């Protein structure tokens, strides 16, 4: 007998989802999973977790994981390969491409999911040794406008405040942020502040989101008009004499020009109200609240960033804080809410194509500095291509080799169908992934590498408040999975750069990264973690969360800029004049609505992890589009029905959800579903690839779109353990359930087609039960294997059938006969009498009531007949009654 | 002394009638029961169980001798009534004795049909109807029996014989078993169940002749196949036993014509059970017979009682499987149907619906709610409110409706 496993200790790590960066305690269960809890000592969350974080344990299985390298053969099939073969093929391909087409013909596309150390190594290889800056990241789709706004105004990508400011502010303004769903733990701190201290909450968003539910003032702004609103605020504050002129004079320049432009855009509240389509009283209320409240945090996220004028929006917001001196002090700061767990870490190492490394730029002096530090053989000399441009260069055949790490651009990029098509043109297409299939791998990756996942990775991440925290492994690397830094270093070695990539651990890389941040810094760069550069391995192992700058061993920094100290060469902040405000693409008769996009509460990005959790799947099960009831009536859409959305770039079909919280003229669809999880719901394919001229971030929330009803005769669900191929023109969405997968679907195939389909999908080695009410349009099939429910299909012409009972049985080890007999009703057996097998056919008396009657003392068939009527008509069951009497009444053998 | 009442026939209908009458009006009638078979009235439904050896012969008696005594019934078993002299109101028995009557109840049942098959009269060709047949049918293990007829009787015989160890071939003219009670799918499932106990089922098989030098030893089919047989059982149907009624001059169609009060064309003579023809229908099942028996007993006891016919339903255990059918179970054009099956549990249910009401049903394997379905059919209960639950039984439907 095995000795019982000792209870392993909890490992302190960091949640891999949003930018809040909550501390997590993971206690491995010894069977490949772990118990997950919030870390009560972590300053981001003090023990709280949101629904996604709390369900991390559901996502740890190996069912969908890629466990060994794959290389595509001549026939297009991905075959298992050794690491050595795969890495050698990549190195040969990169070397060959560079030799023939130059360094700018290769590119890396990285992810805010990577750890800082992974990012650092990839960035170093591309910018210091391949000699190109074509290394960009999905953070471009997420945070680039905040980066650009920070750099324009502050001189560096710096968030001035910290989470504690949300606890002490008296006014919190959320702009383009549904923090209640997208940064839930931080949002709970806002709510606690409201509750305990009476802080006011203003929510500015074209949609009345979950965050608006708690708002003291909700401003349902017209799409794209944030800059007008904040320019109007600046003008209002100036006119009210509410500016901090001393602060402006001491620590900034360019204010007069910026104010003049603001005045041109938004001369008074009337013009603001007109442009933003807000009630003038609401505008005034907001402005006066801002004026009257010293301690304000203005937090912004994708609603601001994902815009072709995102940089201006960020600047317009920041400048209101700057001009009133509400910055760098307790409860006073503009605050960029980061989307991903390590978007900021990626920015620190230079993971964006327009930054070099460690917050340094492509100036000759800085290029030289980094070259010397890295002992680089071939430094990039100019910025590389930003994400959208990068994939367009792939489409034009200018980039010949692409390595995607930890992201799913075929789902997340704008104009995603075009991106997918472009990938086919690559000479070398490498993907480092956790999962064995996703839309990007399916787009024809030549080599797929098994990367370590959360729970296995070792390194650091930086959250929205500049806090560097450890992600620690608590599970062994499965199969042949390896950390991304190891994979990149191994390719670098094979390219002949072994001396510069001889890392033994994440700690090695972190020390080098920290040293670079301090290298010839002399207070010219706020990002300085030189104080961590000499952590030994043991100290790195136990490193506690710390906010940069960490220029000495004394510790981190909560806030910056209270007393100036900005990062432009003159040490000042710089007010910028914003451009005239307009959305990138005007509406058109054929595309009369705006397509807004975003996240939902319980899914993360393309669902490769959260999509594995049954509890997360239940929140919003199907890809949907939210439509205002008046728009729905105009376009003929009904709640719960379906709509085809079409833009100039792509189309999809989504379930219609009517909500008055949706602004008229605008519809909203979530970004999460891919071809892995739904038939026709890749929103990225619809989004215009139009970007902010400074940040390069695409305008993901305002693409002109047309909507039209789509009619399906049938709705239904499938429970299955393998992925079925669907009848033609079916609409479906996958939902994780305990015991397998569920698919909610709609279609027009006839019931007989569905029945035949079920027979194929559920296999030959099952017992099938079926139910069909042809006239009512009901068809149900259940498949049983060895007493378990192996699969189920329910199709109905009268709406999505009930599935809770069937779903529960799907997860059950055994389905007893009584549950089985009711299963295809879709209803629970609770409270339904179970007579058992029929004994008396005439009066339909079952075995169970007869047994009960015998147990109560009946000794003859006549007595049973008196009580139950059994045997009192034709009498043919009387011999059986006698046997039951004999058997049930027999004394126990001794 | 009560009014003299003579029951001719001592089968299940007769026994049920006596039971009902003596409950309703004990002592008012002096009852005599005349039966050709020597034994006490028994449960004919269980004959196949006796044949199979599942049940002892005496176990299928409907009532013990004392039961009849307690009710003052004169039991004349082993006697045949040969005439009813309506002029003098006497029933004459084969030995010449006569019984006076005020009422006669004809419960003469039916006899096996004997189709015109060459060789059907050879020794070794048997029927399956009464206890005497059972004795003649007793077979040793391994003996070969051909059963002609795939209706209820044939199946019962085949089941009993197979369980008793015989090698049984079941020959049926139609393309499915029990075609009058089952639809194609239920019939196919029944065939599987019958074959599972070792019966060889031959469908669309017409018997050309029965061969044998003296005794029957083979059945030859129209397609030329020859089935060896130590015994042949003919179970192709029954015909109402109307000889006595005919001789008495009663109005006779296929059966003895009765009205809604079970009265024949002669005052004082009633008929019930398989021998009776009510509104043009002769019923071959126990339940209508019992219904008729109760109606007649109530009328004779002085109550208003009439019989409006039975919705045809079959609810029985055949070859060890519960089956039920009722009403328009095949589904006439324009009707709707709900079908449920579970191959693993060997359950099958079909419901035929017209204008929002259940008009027919077939159940195979799970007949637990057959009575409820029959009531729904008989009462014409609107079912749309619980249509989705109908197939899953009364308990679910009534919980949901509640």
Q: What is the CATH number of the domain that holds A44?
A: 2.20.25
Residue A544 included in any domain: no
Residue A762, pLDDT score? 87
Residue B319, pLDDT score? 78
Q: Mean pLDDT, consecutive 10-residue segments, chain A of 894 residues?
A: 57 96 95 93 94 92 94 93 97 97 98 96 98 96 95 96 97 96 94 96 96 94 97 98 96 97 97 98 98 98 96 98 97 95 92 94 96 96 97 98 97 97 97 96 97 97 97 96 98 97 97 97 94 96 96 88 93 95 95 96 90 86 96 96 97 96 96 95 97 96 98 94 81 91 93 90 89 94 93 92 86 87 85 70 80 87 87 76 73 37
For B15-70, write each residue's pLDDT tens digit: 999 999 999 988 899 999 999 999 899 998 888 888 888 888 888 899 999 999 99
Could you give the ipTM of this predicted complex?
Answer: 0.83
Q: What is the CA radius of gyration of chain B?
A: 22
- Which residue from B minimizes the CA distance to A879? B55
**What's A396's domain CATH number?**
3.40.50.740
Residues A330 and A214 in one domain: yes
Residue A674, pLDDT score? 96
Name the residue among A778, A874, A879 with its Cβ closest to that of B55: A879
Residues in chain B, overall count: 402
Residues A79 and A198 in one domain: no
Is the pLDDT at B220 greater than 70? The verdict is yes
Residue A562 included in any domain: no
Residue A781, pLDDT score? 95
Residues A176 and A94 in one domain: no
Interface test with B, best of A755, A768, A773 (most B CBs within 10 A): A773
Residues A818 and A842 in one domain: no
Name the residue among B43, B372, B391 with its Cβ closest to that of A875: B43
Residue B1, pLDDT score? 63
- Which residue from A minimizes the CA distance to B345? A817
**Element housing A855 (H / E):** helix A847-855
Residues A154 and A301 in one domain: yes
Residue B384, classed as helix, strand or coil, is: helix
Check CB contact of A752 with chain B, cutoff 8 Å: no
Residue A834, pLDDT score? 65
Looking at the structure of chain A, the number of domains it has is: 6
Q: How many CB pairs under 8 A join A and B?
A: 126
Residues A628 and A695 in one domain: yes
Residue A527 included in any domain: no
A857-861, A883-887, B165-169, B361-365: least confident range? A883-887
Q: Are B336 and B385 in contact (CB under 8 A)?
A: no
Is the pLDDT at B297 greater than 80? The verdict is yes
Q: Which of A59, A81, A97 finishes a domain?
A: A59
**What's A885's domain CATH number?**
1.10.10.1100
Residue A893, pLDDT score? 35
Domains of chain B, with CATH numbers? Answer: 3-111+238-300 (3.50.50.60), 125-234 (3.50.50.60), 313-401 (3.30.390.30)
Residue A130 included in any domain: yes
Interface test with B, best of A825, A839, A885 (most B CBs within 10 A): A825
The structure's pTM equals 0.86
Residues of chain B with C-beta less than 8 angstroms from the C-beta of A833: 395
Residues A611 and A479 in one domain: no
Residue A888, pLDDT score? 65
**What's A311's domain CATH number?**
3.40.228.10
> Per the CB < 8 Å rule, is B43 touching A838?
no
* CA distances for A771 relative to A691, A827, B82, B329, angstroms: 54, 14, 56, 17
3-state SS string for A351-404: CCCCCCCCCCCCCHHHHHHHHHHHCCCCCCCCCCCCHHHHHHHHHCCCCCEEEE
**What's A607's domain CATH number?**
2.40.40.20
Q: Are A660 and A632 in contact (CB under 8 A)?
A: no
Residues of chain B with C-beta less than 8 angstroms from the C-beta of A818: none
For A156-195, write each residue's pLDDT tens digit: 999 999 999 999 999 999 999 999 999 999 999 999 999 9
For B87-124, write each residue's pLDDT tens digit: 999 999 998 999 999 999 999 999 998 899 999 999 99
Interface test with A, best of B189, B292, B388 (most A CBs within 10 A): B388
Q: Which of A336, A353, A387 finishes a domain?
A: A336
Q: Are A193 and A199 in contact (CB under 8 A)?
A: yes
Q: Which of A305, A336, A367 finishes a domain?
A: A336
* CA distances for A15 relative to A24, A52, A342, A453, angstroms: 6, 9, 10, 12
The parent domain of residue A794 ranges over: 714-823
Residues A79 and A202 in one domain: no
Is the pLDDT at B136 greater than 90? The verdict is no
Check CB contact of A886 with chain B, cutoff 8 Å: no
β partners of residue B209: B220
Q: Which residues contact A823 (CB under 8 A, 6 or more apart)?
A: A769, A782, A789, A792, A805, A806, A809, A815
> Per the CB < 8 Å rule, is B315 touching A827?
no
Residue A785 buriedness (CB in 10 A; 0-12 / 13-18 / 19+): middle
Residues A178 and A135 in one domain: no
> Per the CB < 8 Å rule, is A876 touching B49?
yes
E strands, B62-199, are: 74-77, 81-85, 90-93, 98-100, 103-106, 110-112, 125-126, 144-148, 167-171
Q: Are strands A731-737 and A666-670 parallel, antiparallel or unpaired?
A: unpaired
| Residue B52 in tokens | 């199979």
Distance CA A875, CA A854 (A): 18
Name the residue among B62, B336, B389 with its Cβ closest to that of A875: B62
β partners of residue A332: A329
Residue A205 included in any domain: yes
Is the pLDDT at B223 greater than 60? The verdict is yes
Q: Name the percent of chain B lying above pLDDT 70.
A: 99
Residues A409 and A447 in one domain: yes
Residue A236 included in any domain: yes
Residues of chain A with C-beta less than 8 angstroms from the C-beta of B369: 844
Name the residue among A776, A841, A846 with its Cβ closest to that of B315: A841
Mean pLDDT on B161-178: 94
Give A857 to chain B, closest Cα distance, Å: 23
Residue A575 included in any domain: no
Residues A676 and A730 in one domain: no
Residue A534 included in any domain: no
> Per the CB < 8 Å rule, is B392 touching A773?
no
* CA distances for B323 relative to A475, A622, A641, B352, angstroms: 58, 44, 43, 16
Check CB contact of A835 with chain B, cutoff 8 Å: yes
Residues A122 and A155 in one domain: no
Give A880 to chain B, closest Cα distance, Å: 9
Residues of chain A with C-beta less than 8 angstroms from the C-beta of B12: 874
Which phi and psi angles does A880 have, rounded to 5°? -70, -40
Residue B287, pLDDT score? 86
Residue B59, pLDDT score? 85
Distance CA A288, CA A309 (A): 26
């Amino acid at each position: 007998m095995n000795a019982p496993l000792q209870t392993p200790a909890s490992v302190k790590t960091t949640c891999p989802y949003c930018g809040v960066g909550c501390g997590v305690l993971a206690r491995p269960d010894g069977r490949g999973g772990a118990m997950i809890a919030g870390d009560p000592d972590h300053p981001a969350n003090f023990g709280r977790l949101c629904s996604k974080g709390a369900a991390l344990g559901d996502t740890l299985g190996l069912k969908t994981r890629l466990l060994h390298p794959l290389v595509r053969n001549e026939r297009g099939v991905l075959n298992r390969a050794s690491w050595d073969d795969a890495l050698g093929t990549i190195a040969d391909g990169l070397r060959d491409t560079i030799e023939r087409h130059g360094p700018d013909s290769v590119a890396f596309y990285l992810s805010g999911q990577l750890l800082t150390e992974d990012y650092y190594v990839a960035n170093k290889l591309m910018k210091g040794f391949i000699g190109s800056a074509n290394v960009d990241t999905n953070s471009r789709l997420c945070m680039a406008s905040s980066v650009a706004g920070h750099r324009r105004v502050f001189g560096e990508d710096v968030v001035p405040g910290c989470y504690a400011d949300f606890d002490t502010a008296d006014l919190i303004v959320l702009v383009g942020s549904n923090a209640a769903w997208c940064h839930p733990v931080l949002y709970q701190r806002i709510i606690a502040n409201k509750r305990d201290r009476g802080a006011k909450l203003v929510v500015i968003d074209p949609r009345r989101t979950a965050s608006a539910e708690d708002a003291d003032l909700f401003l349902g702004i017209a799409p794209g008009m944030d800059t007008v609103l904040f320019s109007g605020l600046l003008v209002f504050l100036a006119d009210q004499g509410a500016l901090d002129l001393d602060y402006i004079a001491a620590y900034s320049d360019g204010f007069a020009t910026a104010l003049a432009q603001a005045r041109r855009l938004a001369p008074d509240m009337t013009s603001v109200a007109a442009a933003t389509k807000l009630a003038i009283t609401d505008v005034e209320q907001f402005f006066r609240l801002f004026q009257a409240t010293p301690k304000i945090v203005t937090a912004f996220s994708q609603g601001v960033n994902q815009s072709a004028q995102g940089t201006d929006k960020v600047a317009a917001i920041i400048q209101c804080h700057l001009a009133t001196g509400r910055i760098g002090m307790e409860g006073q700061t503009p605050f960029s809410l980061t989307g991903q767990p390590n978007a900021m870490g990626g920015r620190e190492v230079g993971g964006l194509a327009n930054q070099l490394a460690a917050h340094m730029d492509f100036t000759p002096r800085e290029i030289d500095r980094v070259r010397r530090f890295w002992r680089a053989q071939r430094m990039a000399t100019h910025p590389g291509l930003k994400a959208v441009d990068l994939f367009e260069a792939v489409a034009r055949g200018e980039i010949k080799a692409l390595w995607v790490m930890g992201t799913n651009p075929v789902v997340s990029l704008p104009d995603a169908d075009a991106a997918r098509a472009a990938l086919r043109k690559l000479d070398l297409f490498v993907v480092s992934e956790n999962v064995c299939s996703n839309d990007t791998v399916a787009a024809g990756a030549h080599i797929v590498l098994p990367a370590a996942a959360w729970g296995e990775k070792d390194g650091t991440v930086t959250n929205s408040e500049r806090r560097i925290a450890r992600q620690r492994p608590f599970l062994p690397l499965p199969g042949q999975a390896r950390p991304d830094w190891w994979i990149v270093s191994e390719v670098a070695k094979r390219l002949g750069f072994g001396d510069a990539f001889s890392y033994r651990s994440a700690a090695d890389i972190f020390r080098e990264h920290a040293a670079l941040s301090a290298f010839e810094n002399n207070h010219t760069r706020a990002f300085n973690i030189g104080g961590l550069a000499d952590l030994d391995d043991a100290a790195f192992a136990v490193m506690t969360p710390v906010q940069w700058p960490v220029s000495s061993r004394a510790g981190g920094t909560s806030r910056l800029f209270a007393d100036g100290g900005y990062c432009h060469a003159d040490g000042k902040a710089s007010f910028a004049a914003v451009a005239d405000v307009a959305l990138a693409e005007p509406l058109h008769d054929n595309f009369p609505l705006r397509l807004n996009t975003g996240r939902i509460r319980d899914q993360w990005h393309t669902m490769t992890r959260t999509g594995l959790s049954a509890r997360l799947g239940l929140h919003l099960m199907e890809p949907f589009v939210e439509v205002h009831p008046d728009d729905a009536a105009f376009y003929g859409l009904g709640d719960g029905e379906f709509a085809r959305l079409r833009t100039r770039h792509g189309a999809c079909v989504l379930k219609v959800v009517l909500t008055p919280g949706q602004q008229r003229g605008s519809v909203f669809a979530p970004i999460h579903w891919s071809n892995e999880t739904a038939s026709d719901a890749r929103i990225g394919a619809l989004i215009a690839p139009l970007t902010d001229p400074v940040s390069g971030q695409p305008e993901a929330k305002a693409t002109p779109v047309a909507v039209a009803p789509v009619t399906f005769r049938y709705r239904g669900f499938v429970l299955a353990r393998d992925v079925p191929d669907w009848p033609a023109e079916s609409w479906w969405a996958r939902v994780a359930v305990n015991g397998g997968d569920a698919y909610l679907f709609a279609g027009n195939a006839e019931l007989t087609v569905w029945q035949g389909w079920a027979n194929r999908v559920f296999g030959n080695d099952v017992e099938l039960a079926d139910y069909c009410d042809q006239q009512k349009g009901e068809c149900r099939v259940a498949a049983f294997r060895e007493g378990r429910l192996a699969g189920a299909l329910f199709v109905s012409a009268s709406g999505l059938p009930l599935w809770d009972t069937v779903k529960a049985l799907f997860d059950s080890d055994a389905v007893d006969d009584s549950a089985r007999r009711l299963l295809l009703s879709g209803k629970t057996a609770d409270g339904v009498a179970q007579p058992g097998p029929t004994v008396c056919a005439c009066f339909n008396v079952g075995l169970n009531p007869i047994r009960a009657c015998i147990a109560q003392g009946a000794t003859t068939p006549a007595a049973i007949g008196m009580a139950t009527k059994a045997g009192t008509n034709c009498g043919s069951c009387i011999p059986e009654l006698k046997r039951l009497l004999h058997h049930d009444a027999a004394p126990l053998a001794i | 002394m009560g009014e003299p009442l003579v029951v001719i026939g001592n089968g299940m209908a007769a026994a049920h009638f006596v039971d009902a009458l003596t409950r309703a009006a004990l002592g008012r009638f002096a009852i005599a029961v005349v039966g050709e078979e020597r034994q006490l009235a028994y449960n004919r439904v269980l004959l196949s169980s006796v044949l199979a050896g599942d049940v002892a012969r005496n176990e299928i008696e409907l009532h013990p001798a004392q039961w009849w005594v307690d009710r003052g019934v004169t039991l004349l078993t082993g006697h045949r009534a040969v005439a009813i002299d309506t002029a003098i109101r006497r029933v004459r028995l084969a030995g010449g004795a006569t019984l006076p009557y005020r009422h006669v109840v004809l419960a003469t049942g039916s006899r096996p049909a004997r189709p015109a098959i060459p060789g059907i009269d050879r020794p070794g060709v048997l029927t399956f109807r009464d206890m005497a047949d059972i004795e003649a049918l007793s077979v040793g293990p391994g003996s070969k029996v051909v059963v002609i007829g795939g209706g209820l009787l044939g199946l019962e015989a085949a089941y009993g014989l197979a369980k008793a160890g015989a090698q049984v071939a079941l020959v049926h003219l139609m393309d499915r078993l029990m075609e009058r009670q089952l639809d194609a799918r239920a019939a196919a499932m029944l065939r599987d169940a019958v074959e599972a106990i070792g019966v060889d089922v031959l469908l669309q098989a017409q018997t050309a002749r029965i061969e044998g030098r003296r005794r029957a030893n083979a059945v030859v089919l129209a397609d030329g196949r020859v089935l060896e047989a130590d015994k042949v059982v003919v179970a192709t149907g029954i015909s109402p036993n109307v000889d006595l009624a005919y001789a008495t001059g009663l109005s006779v169609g296929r059966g003895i014509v009765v009205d809604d009060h079970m009265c024949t064309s002669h005052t004082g003579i009633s008929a019930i059970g398989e021998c009776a023809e009510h509104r043009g229908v002769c019923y071959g099942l126990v339940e209508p017979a019992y219904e008729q028996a109760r109606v007649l007993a109530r009328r004779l006891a002085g109550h208003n009682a009439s019989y409006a016919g039975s919705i045809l339903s079959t609810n029985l255990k055949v070859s060890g499987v519960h089956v039920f059918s009722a009403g328009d179970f095949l589904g006439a054009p324009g009707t709707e149907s709900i079908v449920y099956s579970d191959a693993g549990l060997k359950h099958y249910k079909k419901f035929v619906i017209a204008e929002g009401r259940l008009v027919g049903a077939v159940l195979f394997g799970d007949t637990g709610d057959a009575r409820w379905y029959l009531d729904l059919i008989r009462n014409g209960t609107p079912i749309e409110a619980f249509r989705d639950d109908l197939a899953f039984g009364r308990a679910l439907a009534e919980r949901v409706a509640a």
